[in-house]
Structure 1
Amino acid sequence: GHSEDLTHIRVVELEHDITGSLGLSIAGGIGSSIGDTAVIIANMTPAGPAAKSQKLKIGDQILSINDVQLDGMSHDEVVQLLKKPGTIKLTVSHGEETRVSVSGHTSRQVSTDMSQEYAELMAQDNVFQETLAPDEGPPPQCNTLHLNKGPEGLGFSIVGGHGSPHGDLPIYVKSVFSKGAAADEGSLKRGDQIISVNGQSLEGCTHDEAVSILKNTRGAVTMTVLTS
């Protein structure tokens, strides 16, 4: 046991974020989906505490949590240890750079191609009932947003439209992606109703028409939305 053998073992302290998450997922443990293996870091949320520490890598093996050795522990027991409140002290050793996804397949880069996103949307055009339900809150506000459409696109998907499976509906924001113009601008959210794009009203537009109006925008995009 020379001392240089220990250089790849390190201790990392993490604090949970406001949602109570460390921003990491693990694979392995006794009885896990990939067999009885060592516990390794399978994934990290880009902005989560684990990624921000810059001391952890996907594929690192976790040896102990708060000085509790993980040897012989089940996957679920390890997950419970990670959820304990307070500072979490991980002892990790540098593992192979193998990316293990939880299903046991190596992970593929997910394409951020918008056209694929739209294809998926048209297949499952589900409107949120909660947006349409009249609620007691303040009346919706009309906001004008200025988005800068870059290589990542506008960065959101839509639902609704004239002649949608749910009837003639306005165009609503279905989801805002983590990258893109909407995320950079910061105020667009799920359930906002899009009134117009670059001064062109979406009233009476079908889903497809609204998609093509949004896809054909370039550079600076001005959108009027109703937000509740």
Structure 2
Amino acid sequence: LNPNNESEFFFQSPNPNPNTNSAMAVHPSCIMCTLVGFSGVVILRHHFCIICICAFVYSFSAVPGPCDPEDLIDGIIFAASYLGSTHLLSERTPTKSARMQQAQEAMSRVRAAQKQAKNRKKSPDGEAPSTVEVDLFMSTQRIKVLNADTQESIMDLPLRTISYIADIGNMVVLMARGKMVRSRSAQDQLDRTAEHHTTMSHDDRRLYRMICHVFESEDAQLIAQSIGQSFSVAYQEFLRANGIDPDDLSQREYSDLLNTQDMYNDDLIHFSKSENCRDVYIEKQKGEILGVVIVESGWGSILPTVIIASMMHAGPAEKSGRLNIGDQIMTINGTSLVGLPLNTCQSIIKGLKSQSRIKMNIVRCPPVTMVLIRRPDLRYQLGFSVQNGIICSLMRGGIAERGGVRVGHRIIEINSQSVVATPHEKIVQILSNAMGEIHMKTMPAAMYRLLTAQEQPVYI
């Protein structure tokens, strides 16, 4: 199990082809996809019920996990102690570290409640809930918590409602996202903390109520791994129910296809032309901001850096006449921005306020990225997923990555057909049925929101 970056993990095939990268990218938004973590922590991430266009899958015999897949379809049971539940407020898409902090906070709250309960029991009339021995039933459909003595159902959670799972020592924390918080004070507090993040949409800053259920078991790690495997098996069942046989396409066939395809990426063309790479100098007053909004180029780009998404009217950047929307910034005053997080790049630009002359090395690129995916047959999965027109995951080394698809980009056109106002289901249908050469135009979703006035720019 190989963590690759902040939001993507990869399953490694049990029998990888040494000549290809056979890892499978699992995106954080799919109802049927799993992120299995590391260092004793298992995390499942999904937020919306969307139709997935994920890359190829393995047969049941290759699904990683401790259980027989057929047993997971019928359901298996683990013994555990139910310690209690608590509620937390969370952003829609918190970071991996934030999620683990939430799991630890949930554990701390439940333990504190148990300690208070024990103290109350010492008083003559004190009553408080105690630890309950339970049977934890799990399948590809649901997770049930049953009283071990009476077999009465304590809770019944459809598998799709589980957003995150963490096993920490002998503790297991199940997290399910509840409804959006309507409290104005709570929402305003979160908005204030995110006001300087120019690429975070208002929807991403909304607070949601997470319901955290805490259990204790000697099999904590096994329980978490089994739930992760349940998601994988459920995904294959989902494919079969929709007429797709995972066994139709072997790993060798897919690898052979990749070996016959050249990498197509518009960046290759632009970066190879010296006239597109240039040094520019920006003159400004000391204390004056540069006057730009930057966004990430997107996971999948050849050189991960930042892109100019907007320029302040009559600001130094615009007045210079040397910068355009879509330009990729390589260096600023000799400091490389390649591979740096967005907030670090923003801090570097904010630090230019005291300077009067700035040197930037840029690559002149159009704001729209050209994509060409070669898909000879419908058996070959595209290898990326889309939600409401935005690409939310990408299979490493797949035909989509080779074609120039980037995570975080909004699809503008598919085969010369505009999909800007097209419903999600229709976009999925178009992509699912597309064969041969698939031409797409995309741009960073944050840039699209700025250009269409869906968001107000915050210049730096």
TM-score, normalized by the shorter chain, greater than 0.5: no
Higher helix share: 2
TM superposition score normalised by structure 2: 0.21
Largest Rg, 1 or 2: 2
